[in-house]
Chain A
């Protein structure tokens, strides 16, 4: 209760400072709109449906690409962890490409796929895939051999071993890789949407971009706010519960 109160006070003070800065007219109102203007923009964007529409388009790109990245990354990570030949080839490739900021995929994606959904998808997949490959590889390598041995004597083998022993044992690593992949994918998708107009759908990044074109600062700040909220929600709704579960089960300290 006390914590919620402190948060509320903190954010109220922040908005009050903003309002104060606006009233003091330190900057031109074009550069710094009042908080209420941003709220009004968001209200309009909600009622005329643009915000909802853009969010749906962005989230669809993100989620589809993200799940393709995970579905591809998990088996690849298993392979690189299990066989030297895959480790030396795909593993090295993953390590190299993971250091590449995923926004660097945008020019290539545009040339290959044109200004299309496929280009967006490609960028998101590249952002997710390599993080998941590397995290899965590390996770599988860190599974204590004694778990495998114990499971072997109880009659576990092949698929059962992978799904019931190695995957859950590597889960703490895999989840942190998924979280990193999510962050990379989210950032690179925003960058791609800001750079490139895709005619099949206007996402949040495009709204941000047009806000700048029109010098509509209320729109720019409003959309930034929405992007922040989506990031927070993903963390609170999806990742936090999983991490809390893992901490409780494994007995590791709460990060």
Chain B
């Protein structure tokens, strides 16, 4: 511990401890206008420490519900979620969520948004928090914009800030709910690269929800396919490609088309029934 003297920021940043997630028999139904809808039907899944798992399915298949349950924002009707063996009972900064819309606070500037979660973390001095926030802003490439107002940023920049804000309190799990869905293709491709790089630097357990198969194949160690009505995990693909991955590579396209075929197989028929 020779580097001890360099301050607690280095220490704070040195802590990298991704969680192990265990989801057991989680069910959840919602009261809809046309009776109860079973959003999740006895879903079980385990995610290893530092693993990047993508949940893929058509809209309304319950994948976002599962994400919210892992986050502790919603309670399952039955079943349990364990993070490192401890049951999840409510939201907490060990498992931070990045939403589809940025959910950044418009009354704060960029830096204060990133500081928001840090200020709620105990045992840090003012300067530590400031330095940590700066570190993450640099990681997402937005140092120049630390005092910009949120509405002045482009969609891609907003999601970068949201990523920095989610990473800053150093959560053990990062939950991402279609974070890039609203962005244009070019910006998205850039963010795929950046996210892989950041994940390499700040090893997290990531659960990533998307309906974009290519995106899932590009980012995930594993891709889980959800079927709707009721929400279930139908199939699982391990993506065994070296990183960093390029979304336009031929190998990746091969995986994507296999996954798409599987997705069509079961959701095509289910969708026909639903409609």
Contact = CB atoms under 8 A, between A and B. Distances in A.
Contact of A153 (B92, B109, B150): B92
Contacts of B172: none
Contacts of A147: 103, 105
A152 B152 contact: no
A160 B243 CA distance: 41
B49 to A, nearest CB: 20
Interface string B122-157: 000000000000000000000000000111100000
B103 A154 contact: no
Nearest to A150: B103
B93 interface: yes
Interface stretch (A96-104, A183-191, A212-220, A245-253): A245-253
A248 B107 contact: no
A155 B106 contact: no
Given A146-B101, A251-B149, A251-B152, A153 B107 contact: no
A146 B151 contact: no
Given A152-B73, A154-B169, A251 B106 contact: yes
Nearest to A250: B106
Contacts of A165: 105
Contacts of B92: 153, 155
A156 B165 CA distance: 14
Interface string A200-240: 00000000000000000000000000000000000000000
A167 to B, nearest CB: 9
Interface in B62-91: 71-73, 91
A75 interface: no
Contacts of B149: 248-249, 251
B213 interface: no
A153 B93 contact: yes
Centre residue among B103, B107, B152 by max chain A CB count within 10 A: B107
B120 A153 contact: no
Q: Is the interface of A mostly helix, strand, loop or mixed?
A: helix
Contacts of A248: 149
A154 B117 contact: yes
Contacts of B96: 153-154
Given A154-B116, A154-B120, A249-B149, A149 B106 contact: no
A165 B107 CA distance: 9
Q: Is the interface of B mostly helix, strand, loop or mixed?
A: loop
Contacts of A90: none
B204 interface: no
Contacts of A151: 116
Given A150-B97, A150-B99, A153-B95, A169 B107 contact: yes
Indicate the size class of the contact surface on chain B: 20 to 34
Centre residue among A152, A168, A171 by max chain B CB count within 10 A: A152
Contacts of A164: 116
B261 interface: no
Contacts of B200: none
A42 to B, nearest CB: 42
Contacts of B72: 153
B258 interface: no
A155 B107 contact: no
A169 B105 contact: yes
Contacts of B93: 153-155
A153 B121 CA distance: 12
A150 B106 CA distance: 13
A63 B75 CA distance: 48
Interface of A: 144, 146-147, 149-156, 160, 164-165, 168-169, 171, 248-251
Given A147-B105, A153-B71, 15 more contacts: A144-B103, A146-B99, A149-B91, A150-B97, A151-B116, A152-B73, A152-B91, A154-B120, A155-B117, A155-B120, A171-B107, A249-B109, A249-B149, A249-B151, A251-B152
12 contacts: A144-B103, A146-B103, A149-B99, A150-B99, A152-B73, A153-B95, A154-B117, A160-B120, A168-B107, A168-B108, A251-B150, A251-B151
Interface of B: 71-73, 91-93, 95-97, 99, 101, 103, 105-109, 116-117, 120-121, 149-152, 165, 169
